[in-house]
Structure 1
Amino acid sequence: MPSNPEPVAGLAPAPEDVAAVDVSELEHVYGDGRSAVTALGPISLRVPTGSFLVIVGASGCGKSTLLRLIAGFERPTSGTVRTGGEEPVPGRGAGVVFQQPRLFPWKTVGGNVDLALRYAGVPKPERARRVPELLERVGLHDVADRRIWQISGGQQQRVAIARALAGDDPLLLLDEPFAALDALTRERLQEDLRRVSTETGRTSVFVTHSVDEAVFLGSRVVVLTHRPGRIALDLEVGLPRTGLEPDELRALPEYAALRTTIGHAVRTAAALEGETR
């Protein structure tokens, strides 16, 4: 990310000492009694404003649970979650992108983005200006009038990202949004998302199984252990966020070294239960 990203339009800058996400001694249990399953924790994690945090780990390690807790879709069993210094509320303060786009198929591409702006309280004249801007940002300026069923799966995910950006929320949460896509489309959307995050300066939290995706997208990578998910590795990536083409970035020796380090951590953490670094 740029060292001093431009503030997101319409938002007051957060105080310097308030993290975009602050998780403290967080634990989450599903069920109760003998059937109770501890899915996550304890975890403590602080995400500064402007970071791109990637959470990676094997299936069942609690990655998506952690994201839902940050979004406010679930309440923690114990511990606290704060976003921008406040308890998270679903639909407020964070745009969320899921593995499936969850768009309205009876609306056009532009209509889906317009609806998100409408829910965000943006006046109609302003929406007419911002819909093309948001679609341009994700490379969809030429399909605004198409129905959702008339565009590809990759384009649908671009619409979902544009919709998540529509509310000018300072936080973007993404739960394996590219997992169901082919490799080429996935790489293109990774490049789009990396560019958009750099341009907007939003804080992003991204869940994935892919080590390469984690290294390419993240300014920081956290690896979780097998259930209950705890932090096995917390690593600043340190790669350039601007100035290099994707192929040039992936060709760096540092990129290969990070893939090796994180890949080893993921494989090791998949066998850990309740252990931490």
Structure 2
Amino acid sequence: MSSTTSTDSDPAAAPAAPARGAVSISGAVREYGRGDNRVRALGPVDLQIPAGDFVVLVGPSGCGKSTLLRLVAGFEPPTDGTVQVDGAPPVPGHSSGVVFQQARLFPWKTVGGNVSLALKYAGVPRAERRDRADELLDRVGLAGTYDRRIWEISGGQQQRVAIARALAVPTSLLLMDEPFGALDALTRERLQADVREVDAESGRTTVFVTHSPEEAAFLGSRIVVLSGRPGTVARDIRSTLPRTDVDPDELRERRDFVELRAEISAAVKSAAAQERRGDRR
């Protein structure tokens, strides 16, 4: 039998497929308006997010954090450059699960009904939806709430339902746009701990938008600080804090956590100061 060389039969010679949940942002720009009213809100941004990273976007108000998240979600196209999830342009509702600042639940459906609807669109057979929804609700600390009405649960619990609904989407990428911004401090800390735990269990890639250096330090395996508008990557900080087997309250008291929070805060303040100096020119 003659010997032949083929990239089709040689895995080492074939190009590697993108890892599930990987995000690639290259020269991404987003502008709004036309002509003299055209405004650049973001970019250019170059950012590579390997599968499994928990990246927190933080920066001055109006720097384009949520705009960048919308590009990754596929809700808006970049004006220039490329945004890809798993090697292809993102498709809304298919490339990622998304949690917004407001829960955006359907008030006429039960807690479980909201999660089951996401499972329906994900193609889960009807006979399996109840059990799967119960599993997801249990994962976010809402065991036994399937039949409760949305108005019967607190704002923090509603956000837990929104997270469970996003986890119902069979994607490797979760996007969260300041999901705890409207909650009280205690509920916020509890949900931060829940999200950290869910991240450790699921292994999904997560991109999380916040304006809080404390939240960024607590949640992120990487913290990307954006400059003032138009937002670009000013700092990319890798956290060395443990991701598992650590008590949330103890984590917040650690010296390396306090130092990381201070580093992020200083970077955000520096970005805001540079923007103000640019406005005065």
The verdict on a shared fold, with TM-score over 0.5 as the criterion, is: yes
1: distance between equivalents of 2:130 and 2:93? 22
One of 263, 266, 277 as aligned partner of 1:264: 266
1: distance between equivalents of 2:86 and 2:18? 11
Which amino acid in structure 1 is aligned with residue 64 of structure 2? G
Which amino acid in structure 1 is aligned with residue 58 of structure 2? V
2: distance between equivalents of 1:272 and 1:29? 21
- Partner of 1:38, secondary structure, is strand
2: distance between equivalents of 1:172 and 1:19? 9
Which residue of 2 is the match for residue 243 of structure 1? 245
Structure 1 residue 272, shift from structure 2 partner: 2.4
Which residue of 2 is the match for residue 223 of structure 1? 225
Which residue of 2 is the match for residue 78 of structure 1? 80
1: distance between equivalents of 2:142 and 2:158? 10
Which amino acid in structure 2 is aligned with residue 35 of structure 1? N
- Partner of 1:189, secondary structure, is helix
Give the root-mean-square deviation of aligned CA atoms: 1.5
Q: Any unmatched runs of 5+ in structure 1?
A: 1-13
1: distance between equivalents of 2:274 and 2:50? 28
2: distance between equivalents of 1:95 and 1:70? 11
Q: Greater Rg, structure 1 or structure 2?
A: 2
Which residue of 2 is the match for residue 9 of structure 1? none
Alignment of 1:153-164 (within 5 A): 153-164=155-166
Which amino acid in structure 1 is aligned with residue 220 of structure 2? G
Structure 1 residue 271, shift from structure 2 partner: 2.4
Percent same amino acid among aligned pairs? 63
Alignment of 1:79-158 (within 5 A): 79-158=81-160
Contact 1:19–1:46 (Cα < 8 Å) also in 2: no
- Partner of 2:55, secondary structure, is strand
One of 257, 264, 268 as aligned partner of 1:255: 257
Output the TM-score relative to the length of structure 1.
0.92
Q: Is 1:40 matched up with 2:42?
A: yes
How big is each residue's C-alpha offset from its partner over 1:177-223, in whole Å with a ceiling of 9 and x where there is no partner? 00000000000000000000110000000000000000000000001
Contact 2:21–2:172 (Cα < 8 Å) also in 1: no
1: distance between equivalents of 2:21 and 2:45? 16
- Partner of 1:79, secondary structure, is strand
Change over 3 Å in CA distance of 1:16–1:81 after alignment to 2: closer
Which amino acid in structure 1 is aligned with residue 271 of structure 2? A
1: distance between equivalents of 2:170 and 2:204? 9
- Partner of 1:260, secondary structure, is helix
Output the TM-score relative to the length of structure 2.
0.90
How big is each residue's C-alpha offset from its partner over 1:44-71, in whole Å with a ceiling of 9 and x where there is no partner? 0000000000000121000000000000
Q: Which one is further off, 244-253 or 45-54?
A: 244-253
Contact 2:134–2:144 (Cα < 8 Å) also in 1: no
2: distance between equivalents of 1:15 and 1:60? 35
Which amino acid in structure 1 is aligned with residue 134 of structure 2? P
Which amino acid in structure 2 is aligned with residue 218 of structure 1? G
1: distance between equivalents of 2:109 and 2:183? 22
Number of residue pairs the alignment of both structures matches = 262
- Partner of 1:40, secondary structure, is strand
- Partner of 1:45, secondary structure, is strand
